[in-house]
Chain A
Amino acid sequence: MTDIDTRALDRELKKGSAELLILSLLEAQPRHGYELSKLIHIRSGGLLTFHIDSLYPLLYRLEERGWIKGTWVEKPGERRRRLYKLTAHGNRVLAAQIKTWETFVEAVRRITAGADHA
């Protein structure tokens, strides 16, 4: 899949799925911003990259909506870090978005399944 224009893929997928990605990553445990960006990068196999410009405004937007909450956490001997976690509201949104996404993916699969991809 190396000849796919990653930047175009980025843009397209991010547009619709960025929030879903963040929410689902936070579902498992609270994480801080850098961790989120690394996770996305690694789990997408390098296909998706969230730079500061995109990541933090997104996080702040989600925070403003009340879907996630960021808190400063200070562990002994360490600098304080801002950890984001999913709120109850965010949980419900995540479930709904996953449903929508699955429905959409299923629909696309059904439509494209008819075409023959050799």
Chain B
Amino acid sequence: MHDWQNEVRARLVSLRLKPEREADIVDEIAQHLAERHREAVSGGARPDEATRVALAEFHAGNALAQRIAALKQAHAPATVAAGASTGNWLADFWHDLRYAARAFGKHKSFAATAVLILALGIGATTAIFSVVYSVLIKPLPYPNADELVRLRHSVNGQFGGADFEPTMYVTYRKENRTLASIGLWTDSSVTLTDGGEPERLRGIRVTDGTLQTLSVQPLHGRWFTKDEYGPAADGADPVIISYGFWQRRFGGADDAIGRELSIDSRPARVVGIMPGDFRFLDYATQPDVIAAVRLDEPNLIISGGWSYQGLARLKPGVTSEEARADIQRMRPIWIDSWPLPPIAGATREVLASFPVAAVVRPLKDDIVGGAASMLWVLMGAIGAVLLVACANIANLTLVRADARRQELAVRAALGAGAARIARALLVENLALGAAGSALGLLLAYVGLHFLVALGPSNLPRLQEIGLYAPVLAFTIAVSLLSTVLFGSMTVLKHAVRASAPFVATARGTTTSRERNKARSALVVVQVALALALVVSAALMIRTFQELRDVDPGFAEPTTVQTARIWLPNSLLGQAEQYTRVQHEMLDRIAALPGVESVGFASALPMEGPGWAGTAPIVIEGRVPPPGVFPTTRGTKFVSPGYFEAMGTRLIAGREITWGDIEAGGRVVLISESFAREIAGEPAAAVGKRIRTFVETDAWREIVGVVQGVHETGLYEEAPDFVYFPALLADMWGTPLVGTPFVAFTIRSKRAGTANLMDEVRQAVWSVAAGVPVTHTRTMADLYSGSLARTSFVLVLLAIAGGMALVLGIVGIYGVVAYVVAQRTREIGIRSALGAEPKQLARMFLLQGLALSTIGAVAGLAAAMVLARLMQSLLFGIGPLDPLAYVAALVAVIAAATLASYVPARRAAKIDPMNTLRAE
């Protein structure tokens, strides 16, 4: 039977007929041919003759097509096959988008889950990257900030609290070849004495050149003039104030310039106001008041009091190394340029013999310092969480795509090519990605506030953290990458396969094993990453434990209240006076109810840099030869009662007494490590004598040895410390030296309460009315402050580990549940054949465990790499701490077991009758 339809169709192929129209024509003419054929046959022709007759209806040259071509209907506009591409990618895109929206509307739980997981991953990544960017990558807020460097001197490789004195500054400024500008500054907190309660203001004093180096112009007013940096004159001191202070004190008034203030009971005049976004380095509390360091340059002498800090701007093209060499070169020039201090033994040879080295570091590195390693570790951890999230979503989409095989095959039948389907799936994934990113950005914004609030206050540039443009660009890039990651699997797989004819199968599929392999691989990746993160969190927990186990050198810090007292300027310079005032205050505080012991000191442990001092200390009988410098030790000035109030143990000897102080304070206490160095056994050090490196200073007898105190923080060993009495004769080449600014330490069960502090204030004011009492906190606050950075990292890694673990569990659960669902029939049969429920459960449990074990082993390798990167954050343990690894493994395996157990149990409960009946 000849295919008439094909004959006709073949002749019409060149025409652009609408498909329905073409079908009609084909049908019609085919019938004509069939009838012709039938007629011929009934007329006696043989079938093949009849066929020839029928086909003779077509004349040569395809006149049929030619004639129809002349008609309108042969010029139908190209129609869209239901599934095929329109050729207009915008229309296609819009169509796909609507289709995707409809599809997600029907499968809300899938879409919601995927978007939520993605949002969490992207939100966390964005938030952490915000911190990394703001702290590590963003340039400092100064013009050409990469030219700025921090200048330091190190003595014997150690840094003191400050490193410069004005004579150095003048020499370096005049003689340098590598610096465009140089300036010094020093902390100079002041008291606003305008009446009412005195307010303590953070302030700095700067030399000429400091503000110029930073190059931030004042918002109103001006910088100091050269004269104002010159010798002190009568009249009000010029000051530049911060934007915040301008708002607070003057209400942002336009006429604030020229207004007068009373600072430290002296008149000051506002000459300039800094802009609102001006930041002086990374001071947590920005200075409100900037005053000038007034130098009588021609008449300076070397003072030996290196209480200034230095910064400079390099000349264009100059490196830090060149600047360092330059400063080192200028040192001998400096030594020879200035008159020496009138201290016996201070000769130019001695000065030259100080093992002092210049250190020049880019300002940003100096500020950011140790935070870098911590932040990159966190970034890596969060990146891992994002990978886990993507793996999870990829798994979800794979499962969903299985269910859509039919739908995709129909689309292929309707004319969609492989590329078309791939594009449609890509659009779906992009829609998911876009929704997840938008939500993630919102979460990041919220999370960032939480992070900044939680962040350790000593995290550099904490106030500069925000969502900047580069961070948003990063988010978009990350979203696209994630989308590609989780989408590519399905897009590739299904686009390729779907265009093949749809094969209807009743149950089970030809490619189920292949699909399960992909899903299992994803789960293994998830478990591996989760294990690495849990290990890192466990290592931080161990670090925290180890840190908490360290004896800080004081006892029961929650019961030790501290407060700083600032005595009026009028007393300064009269050491005896303020020590007497302090003694009086101490007695009054000791008399308060509930106070067990009181003392004061120039610096508290873990109070931060800049309070405690250092000095080279000479041990009697071990005076170093000329040219060799005695080792620098930490120094502090303490009152009687200080150690008792702190709960620091006395190991040998006795404490300082007020009697000692009245006799000239020729006694000291030293720390355990120093004692051992001097005399082997702490007790043997008692009775030995030490003094500062200044030859005219008095020898002081060691009367006691205290346990090592972690003055600078828990991470470092307790340093060698010398505890001087609060008032000393013959110290630093001066007859009498005291400690004007002290922190009181008060041991009481009422520490930390507002009413104890009120009573303390009253006690203080009853001796000296109205003096500022600031920095009121307990030793516990200082202690946790020193742990702040560690806690921060710990919390974030724990969150990351937790998230990854939860996602991993969900992944394992998903795979095992899916396999159970797929093999329901097989389970039913096995069960009917007598398999025990326990056996069945065990089968799937083992499958889940097998996956997790593979993942865990792979994860161990990743964990070890991550741990090595984290090394600088760890304390007391190595990166391969067995306890942490074992704990993490146990946690992950337990979680995996639970995740496999639930669906496995369901397998055991399958009723064979149900499954077999459903055939």
Contacts and interface: CB of A to CB of B under 8 A. Distances in A.
A81 B30 CA distance: 11
Nearest to A56: B29
B775 interface: no
Contact of A79 (B25, B31, B63, B70): B31
Interface in A38-79: 51-54, 56-57, 60-61, 64, 72, 79
Contacts of B59: 51, 53
B58 A53 contact: yes
A33 interface: yes
Contacts of B72: 64
Interface residues of B, number: 22
A51 B58 contact: yes
B67 interface: yes
B32 A53 contact: no
A78 B72 CA distance: 31
B1 interface: no
Contacts of B28: 32-33, 56, 82
Interface string A24-46: 00000000111001000000000
Contacts of B25: 56, 60
A45 B892 CA distance: 97
B421 to A, nearest CB: 35
A87 B32 CA distance: 23
A51 B57 contact: yes
Given A34-B36, A82-B24, A53 B29 contact: no
Interface in B13-60: 24-25, 27-29, 31-33, 35-36, 56-59
Nearest to A72: B24
Given A52-B32, A52-B33, A60 B64 contact: no
Contacts of A53: 57-59, 63-64, 67
Nearest to A61: B71
A34 B73 CA distance: 22
B33 A57 contact: no
Nearest to B33: A52
Contacts of A57: 64, 67-68, 70-71
Interface string A1-43: 0000000000000000000000000000000111001000000
A52 B73 contact: no
A46 B71 CA distance: 29
B177 to A, nearest CB: 95
B71 A64 contact: yes
Interface string B68-94: 101111000000000000000000000
Contacts of A82: 24, 27-28, 31
Contact of B32 (A34, A64, A72, A80): A34
Contact of A56 (B35, B36, B64, B70): B64
A3 B123 CA distance: 96
Given A34-B31, A34-B36, A52 B58 contact: yes
A60 B28 CA distance: 12
Contacts of A33: 28-29, 31-32
The contact size tier of chain A is: 10 to 19
Contacts of B67: 53-54, 57
B57 A81 contact: no
Contacts of B27: 80, 82
A74 B217 CA distance: 93
Given A51-B58, A53-B64, A60 B31 contact: no
A42 to B, nearest CB: 12
B40 to A, nearest CB: 13
A64 B73 CA distance: 8
Nearest to B8: A52
A81 B68 contact: no
Interface in B356-376: none
A99 B59 CA distance: 33
A37 B58 CA distance: 14
A54 B29 CA distance: 12
Contacts of B57: 51-53
B411 to A, nearest CB: 30
A60 B71 contact: yes
Nearest to B35: A34
Contacts of A54: 63, 67
Contacts of A64: 71-73
A56 B67 CA distance: 9
A39 B88 CA distance: 50
Nearest to A82: B28
A79 B41 CA distance: 20
Contacts of A37: 32
A25 B206 CA distance: 114
A44 B549 CA distance: 120
Contacts of B64: 52-53, 56-57
B28 to A, nearest CB: 5
Nearest to B36: A34
A60 B64 CA distance: 11
Interface in B575-618: none
Interface in B380-401: none
Nearest to A57: B67
- With a 10 A CB-CB cut-off, give which of A57, A79, A82 has the most chain B CB atoms: A57
B14 to A, nearest CB: 14
A49 to B, nearest CB: 9
Contacts of B32: 33-34, 37, 52, 56
A56 B64 CA distance: 8
A82 to B, nearest CB: 5
A51 to B, nearest CB: 5
A10 to B, nearest CB: 12
A79 B72 CA distance: 28
A82 B31 CA distance: 10
A20 to B, nearest CB: 18
Contacts of B71: 57, 60-61, 64
A64 B32 CA distance: 21
Nearest to B54: A52
Contacts of A79: 31
Contact of A60 (B36, B56, B63, B68): B68
Contacts of A72: 24
A81 B27 CA distance: 9
A81 B58 contact: no
Most chain B CB within a 10 A radius of its CB, from A52, A56, A72, A81: A52
A73 to B, nearest CB: 12
A36 to B, nearest CB: 10
B755 to A, nearest CB: 101
Contacts of B70: 57
Contacts of B33: 52
B73 A60 contact: yes
A84 to B, nearest CB: 10
A34 B31 CA distance: 8
A64 B21 CA distance: 13
Contacts of A81: 31
B641 to A, nearest CB: 113
A6 to B, nearest CB: 15
Contacts of A61: 71
Contacts of A34: 31-32, 35-36
Nearest to A59: B28
A104 B832 CA distance: 95
A52 B65 CA distance: 11
Kindly name the residue among A34, A53, A60, A61 whose own CB sees the greatest number of chain B CB atoms within 10 A.
A53
A7 B24 CA distance: 30
B34 to A, nearest CB: 9
Nearest to B62: A53
Contacts of B35: 34
Nearest to A36: B32
15 contacts: A33-B28, A51-B57, A51-B59, A54-B63, A56-B32, A57-B67, A60-B25, A60-B71, A64-B71, A64-B72, A64-B73, A72-B24, A80-B27, A82-B24, A82-B28
**Nearest 6 A/B pairs, CB to CB:** A57-B67, A53-B63, A52-B57, A34-B35, A34-B32, A51-B57
Given A53-B63, A56-B29, 5 more contacts: A53-B67, A56-B64, A79-B31, A82-B24, A82-B27
